[in-house]
């Protein structure tokens, strides 16, 4: 039986006790304290409309080693046409992510309560966005959380070719400069694998997660325009 979380208790079951699908628990709420506790333990929420909150720790897990990112010649060329900003338009980024159609997915998991919860984390300096602009218009980007020395990627969107990939490349460059360890990509996808992400066993992921500093790091994310040589 999958454990149910109570709203007045923040404790999660061990992610190692997830069922064969990767579900750790259900219920609870999306309060900042619970979300932070979840990500610190390698757990994340993912559920459909009209479903209860479902908490996951998938096996295998997808991670991106910062040095493994595949910057193709064509992407490097595309990156030069965009301007990039950090945390300049978080709400618009997450709203666009919620509208992006995914393969083998009906509707979106980024519902209004998710948008509200992660916007609070953004106000707290924990959730961040990376944005690509063309001629002053937002055309792509991504958002995620900084927990310790790990960036937990949540979702990305692109209105024109390479806009989200370019934002991802800019993110990786800055994460390296800021001393981050890796990106938690959560659920394996062919798109992220094509960029260099790899599948690892949950036990390896959790051990790696616990080894890095799990205090919340609120880096001063510079709002800047960047061009890649």
For residue 60, the model assigns a pLDDT of: 97
Chosen CATH of 4-56 out of 3.40.50.970, 3.40.50.1360, 3.40.50.180, 3.30.70.3550: 3.30.70.3550
Token pair, residue 1, equals 């039986």
Q: What is the mean pLDDT of residues 192-198?
A: 96
In angstroms, the CA 49 to CA 70 distance is 35
Average pLDDT of span 14-21 = 96
Segment 114-167, tens digit of pLDDT:
999 999 999 999 999 999 999 999 999 999 999 989 999 999 999 999 999 999
pLDDT grade for 99, boundaries at 50, 70 and 90: very high
With vertex at residue 180, the alpha carbon angle to CA 150 and CA 124, rounded to the nearest 5 degrees, is 60
Cβ neighbours of residue 105 closer than 8 Å, sequence gap 6 or more: none
Q: What are the residues whose beta carbons fall under 8 Å from the beta carbon of 20, sequence distance 6 or more? A: none
User: For residue 216, what is the DSSP state?
Assistant: P
Average pLDDT across the chain, whole number: 91
Structure tokens at 217: 């790091």
Domain locations in the chain as residue ranges: 4-56, 61-211
Work out the pLDDT band at 216, boundaries 50, 70, 90: low
What is the pairing mode between strands 4-5 and 23-27?
Answer: parallel
Position 106 pLDDT exceeds 70: no
Question: What is the residue-wise DSSP string for 63-129?
Answer: EEEGGG----HHHHHHHTT-EEEESSSHHHHHHHHHH---TT--S-S--HHHHHHHHHHHHTTSEEE
pTM listed for this prediction:
0.90
Summarised one tens digit per residue, pLDDT across range 22-74 is 999 999 999 999 999 999 999 999 999 889 999 999 999 999 999 999 999 99
Which of helix, strand or coil describes residue 177? Answer: helix
Strand, coil or helix: 171: helix
List the beta bridge partners of residue 86. 130
* Fold exhibited by the domain 61-211: Aminopeptidase (3.40.630)
């Amino acid at each position: 039986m999958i454990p149910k979380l109570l709203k007045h208790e923040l404790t999660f079951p061990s992610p190692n006790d997830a069922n064969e699908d990767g579900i750790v628990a259900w219920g609870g709420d999306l309060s900042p304290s619970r979300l932070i506790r979840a990500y610190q333990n390698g757990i994340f929420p993912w559920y459909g409309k009209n479903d209860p909150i479902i908490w996951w720790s998938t096996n295998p897990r997808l991670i991106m080693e910062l040095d493994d990112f595949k910057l193709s010649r064509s992407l490097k060329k595309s990156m030069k046409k965009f301007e990039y900003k950090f945390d300049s338009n978080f709400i618009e980024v997450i709203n666009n992510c919620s509208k992006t159609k995914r393969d083998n997915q009906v509707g979106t998991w980024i519902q209004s309560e998710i948008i509200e919860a992660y916007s609070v984390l953004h106000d707290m300096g924990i959730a961040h966005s990376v944005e690509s602009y063309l001629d002053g218009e937002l055309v792509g980007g991504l958002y995620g959380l900084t927990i310790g020395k790990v960036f937990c990627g949540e979702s990305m969107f692109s209105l024109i070719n390479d806009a989200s990939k370019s934002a991802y490349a800019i993110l990786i460059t800055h994460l390296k400069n800021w001393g981050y360890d890796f990106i938690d990509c959560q659920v394996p996808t062919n798109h992220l694998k094509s960029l260099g992400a790899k599948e690892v066993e949950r036990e390896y992921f959790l051990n790696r997660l616990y080894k890095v500093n799990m205090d919340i790091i609120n880096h001063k994310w510079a709002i800047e325009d960047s061009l890649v040589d």
